[in-house]
Structure 1
Amino acid sequence: MWITGFLIALVCFSSSRARYSCQRVFSDCYEYNNWPECYESRIITCSTPRLPTPGFVQRQVNTSLEAEVTPTSDHRVTIPSSALQKSTESSDEVVVVVALISSTYFKSRPPKSRAFRQPVLSGSILRGQVLAVTVGRRRLQNLSQPVKLAFSHNASVENGTCMFWLHHLDGTGKWSTDGCLTTDTGSHYVCNCNHLSFFAVLVNPKISLDRKTVMTLSYITYVGSTLSVVLTIISLIIYICLHGRRPEKSIAVHMQLTGALLGLHLSFLLSSFWSRLQGQNQEGWVCSALGFFLHWSLMATLSWSVLEGFHLYLLLIRVFNIYVRRYMLKLSLVGWGFPTLVAAVCAISGVYGTFRVNMTDTSSHVSEAQICWLSSAFPHMLPVAYSTTVVFSCLVVLYNSCMLGLVVLKLWKLRVGSRGFESGYNWRNTYRERGGQVWKDCATVLGLSCVLGLPWGLALTTHISTAGFYVFTVLNSLQGVLVFLWSLALTCKSRSENNLSSKDTSSQKYMTTSFNS
């Protein structure tokens, strides 16, 4: 008898060793084009590890009873007995597998056909998790009783939509809501679906602003951007005239930044108006082209802001020996070349399209804001695309803040050295006597802050209060106006340079030549 028992145990051990390991299903099947089909065929017969795996449940259930599976504390799946009976005809038991899969498995492969590049849904996957439900070897569709899937959520998200992954033989796919109904219980999104597949909940970040505030901010942005477009054109004309009289590098750098800023505000207005004009039927190459233009203009503006800071560093810190061969050509390769390269890569990846955000006001009225920008339909490329805007802008603000700090320090040293020590007066008395010069220095620092793009750093204030939204919106929409005022200041100083008297101090001459040359 012991020999028979040993042989049975050996056969069972060998058969279990021959079964496919469940831990290898994800990595091995992902090598196939149609990886969902591979996953569904292997996950039923794979061998589970001895230790419990978080987010993975594989067990046999009785087909005459309703099955409830909880892979995690945030997820619950309820399968009716009718669906279990439909999955098999020869047995009273069937294998049920519920697994939690990262949403990156569904995002890392962009669609090959342009037909699948049409945005269907907007938002992001709740927690970046997808729930895969498999029952037996049969594909269950058109169920008489729906399968219920519960996803817990918190108050930071809203407008949840249940969806499933609709895949095709060539490996492409898209998220769809066909056959699924969504119910929000307050703490859970409950999905009632008449089929089994890969399920997830698409949500939008909750916006704390009411609809009236959003509309007010929109009007401020449109008016400010329109003024910026008009005044940046005038600024370009001023710089061209100044450059014709004095072909200096600083004026050339100002011209490039003004041109990039003109493209930014113009592309924003075109993208916004096209979205409003076309409504929901705005998909196509026009919206993608406008999204490309807006993204490229923003990166170009940030790039030239950095170059303004770099040029200011050469003027104030490295005053001597700053000659660089083909200086403007090298700056142009960075200022225009880098944005073009990044935007071209994003365009090839097909990330440009319609960006949609759902908003809910105090009366629970749901509205949708949209613009031609980075498409919400393909969140798998959005982290890469946003890193070129959010992360890049943070680095620009940090670098130019350091440059502005050096400018303030240089100003202070010049004023103290020329007015305090040389004249023998205390520097505080000097500033009382020449308070007008202090205001001029403050205006210079404020103007440089706008030229260096530091108002972009005010985006942090939008997370504090509603007033932060207004400050950020007003200053950034009026960047073209601020640049125009800076160009007027340069024109006035350019005229006054020809009338400098012998009474002017060396610090005044230094400041004039540093900021205007």
Structure 2
Amino acid sequence: MHSTNGVYIALIDDVGGWSTDGCNVSGQSSNNFTTCECDHLTNFALLMDVYRTASEFDEGHKKALSIVSYIGCGISLFCMLLTLITFLAFRRLRKDNPTKILMNLCFAIFMSLLLFLAVSFSVDFVPIIPELCTTMAVLLHYFLLAVMMWMALEAFNMYLLLVKIFKTYIRHFMLKFCLFGWGTPMVIVMITLAIDIDNYGYYNNICWLSRYAFFAAFLAPVCLVLIFNTVIYILVVHQICSLNSKNMSTSDRYDKAAQLRGSVSLFVLLGITWALAILAISEAGLVVNYLFAIANTLQGLFIFIFFCALKKDVQKEWRNMFCSCCHRPSGSAESGSTSAMKYLHRDTDKTDLKSEPSTEKHIYNNKSSSEF
């Protein structure tokens, strides 16, 4: 087979058949070469295509799923970048461990979405540089596992702060969390590579894991994390409800809309939407694939809204920065950009910290759920 437009031929289920999905024969030369043109449609749901049903969808749905995935990834990438810039710019916002955990999760999500888009657009170069597909698959596998590990650490930290009665002191807290969050995916990827480097390659119309490697090195860890996070989610929501019922009078009872928002934000933060892939069975497969692609590509947007844009302390920092820039004296010797950078990196006045209302602390440092 010869390619003129990014054709890549792969074995179907590793049993010797040729994949012709999205390919059409455009001509045949005298040298016994067949010229094909292929339109590779990649969507986010292919990463968790447990039952291999995505290949059965018609071209219209494949294209729609691809468009949904690309738009969702683009929006989430932008939101994750804004979130990281916000926490890096304002030192006071990143002093507590929960925010540091959130920053690591945001970086992992950012890299996984970026790599997914890179994988989608690099398929055309696979016939020219076969190693490119393997490298992309390895990196995508690593950062997706990192996303899962940091979501598990988010859940564990919630358990320590919101559910566990007695305070638990952990020495070198963030160092141990980083070793688990970034080290565990590395171990899994290295073992997968050591068993067989061909576990990574062009499978199921995407640079990803082979069938058996997918089950052992990705689906199994993801399922364990989802089970753990679901249990923590139930415990945390129960704790929130019990606190509301015990500590508030009837007239001041926690607003139902705010409580729902808190539950949804936890649901998104813990990545429980990844469990949708397990439900993509027979007739439900198409609908679930749409839901999966929308929910998981927009995870970055939801995290930005719930844990950045709606946070009062974040709003205050940005408002102070813009007000400082707007009211800067015209005769100042410093340029606007220089003074703004100094503002972003300066230490917060101690008097501001003393006057800061306790209700504006980070969600996980407060037993109340009013800051979800």
The TM-score, its normalising length taken from structure 1, stands at 0.51
The yes-or-no answer on 1:395 pairing with 2:241 is no
The yes-or-no answer on 1:474 pairing with 2:291 is no
Q: In the alignment, what sits opposite 1:450?
A: 268
Structure 1 residues 54-104: Cα deviation after superposition (integer angstroms, max 9, x where no partner): xxxxxxxxxxxxxxxxxxxxxxxxxxxxxxxxxxxxxxxxxxxxxxxxxxx
Q: Secondary structure of the residue that 1:336 maps to in structure 2?
A: helix
8 Å CA contact retained: 2:93, 2:314: no
Assess, with a 3 A threshold, how the Cα gap between structure 1 residues 356 and 246 changes in structure 2: closer, same or farther: closer
Structure 1 residues 228-261: Cα deviation after superposition (integer angstroms, max 9, x where no partner): 1121111111222455445100000001100110
Compute the RMSD of aligned alpha carbons. Answer: 3.2
Assess, with a 3 A threshold, how the Cα gap between structure 1 residues 282 and 459 changes in structure 2: closer, same or farther: farther
| Overall identity of the aligned pairs, in % | 25
Deviation at 1:491, TM superposition (A): 3.1
Code of the aligned partner of 1:216: A
The yes-or-no answer on 1:124 pairing with 2:13 is yes
Deviation at 1:213, TM superposition (A): 0.4
Q: In the alignment, what sits opposite 1:345?
A: 191
Number of positions where the alignment pairs a residue of Structure 1 with one of Structure 2: 289
8 Å CA contact retained: 2:265, 2:302: yes
8 Å CA contact retained: 1:229, 1:266: yes
Distance 2:314 2:10 in 1: 55
Assess, with a 3 A threshold, how the Cα gap between structure 1 residues 405 and 438 changes in structure 2: closer, same or farther: same
Distance 2:14 2:203 in 1: 15
- Higher strand fraction: Structure 1 or Structure 2? 1
Code of the aligned partner of 1:355: Y
Distance 1:305 1:488 in 2: 17
Code of the aligned partner of 2:367: Y
Q: In the alignment, what sits opposite 2:368?
A: 511
Unaligned runs of 5+ in 2: 1-7, 21-51, 317-352, 360-364
Which consecutive segments of 4 or more residues in structure 1 shift more than 4 A? 157-160, 493-502
The yes-or-no answer on 1:372 pairing with 2:207 is yes
Within a 5 Å distance, the mapping from 1:311-350 to structure 2 comes to 311-348=157-194, 349-350=196-197
Q: In the alignment, what sits opposite 2:333?
A: none
Distance 1:372 1:125 in 2: 15
8 Å CA contact retained: 1:400, 1:454: yes
Distance 2:298 2:58 in 1: 23
Q: In the alignment, what sits opposite 2:245?
A: 416
Code of the aligned partner of 1:439: A
- Higher helix fraction: Structure 1 or Structure 2? 2
Deviation at 1:320, TM superposition (A): 3.1
8 Å CA contact retained: 2:84, 2:106: yes
Structure 1 residues 305-345: Cα deviation after superposition (integer angstroms, max 9, x where no partner): 10110000000122533211000000110100011122123
Code of the aligned partner of 1:449: F
Q: Secondary structure of the residue that 1:511 maps to in structure 2?
A: coil
Distance 1:452 1:403 in 2: 9
Within a 5 Å distance, the mapping from 1:486-497 to structure 2 comes to 486-489=306-309, 491-492=311-312
Deviation at 1:397, TM superposition (A): 1.2
The TM-score, its normalising length taken from structure 2, stands at 0.69
Code of the aligned partner of 1:411: I
Assess, with a 3 A threshold, how the Cα gap between structure 1 residues 256 and 418 changes in structure 2: closer, same or farther: same
Deviation at 1:353, TM superposition (A): 4.5
The yes-or-no answer on 1:354 pairing with 2:196 is no
Deviation at 1:495, TM superposition (A): 6.2
Query: Considering only CA atoms, is the larger Rg found in Structure 1 or Structure 2?
Result: 1
Within a 5 Å distance, the mapping from 1:214-225 to structure 2 comes to 214-225=62-73
- Structure scoring higher RCO (CA < 8 A, sep ≥ 6) equals 2
8 Å CA contact retained: 2:280, 2:286: yes
Deviation at 1:490, TM superposition (A): 5.9
Structure 1 residues 192-227: Cα deviation after superposition (integer angstroms, max 9, x where no partner): xxxxxxxxxxxx878432111011001110111111
Q: Secondary structure of the residue that 2:127 maps to in structure 1?
A: coil
Distance 1:398 1:389 in 2: 14
Q: 2:279 aligns with which of 461, 466, 471?
A: 461
Distance 1:237 1:501 in 2: 25
Q: Secondary structure of the residue that 1:351 maps to in structure 2?
A: helix
Deviation at 1:459, TM superposition (A): 1.1
Structure 1 residues 467-510: Cα deviation after superposition (integer angstroms, max 9, x where no partner): 211111101111111121123256325668966499xxxxx963
Assess, with a 3 A threshold, how the Cα gap between structure 1 residues 120 and 468 changes in structure 2: closer, same or farther: closer
Within a 5 Å distance, the mapping from 1:12-51 to structure 2 comes to none
Q: Secondary structure of the residue that 2:311 maps to in structure 1?
A: helix
Q: In the alignment, what sits opposite 2:43?
A: none
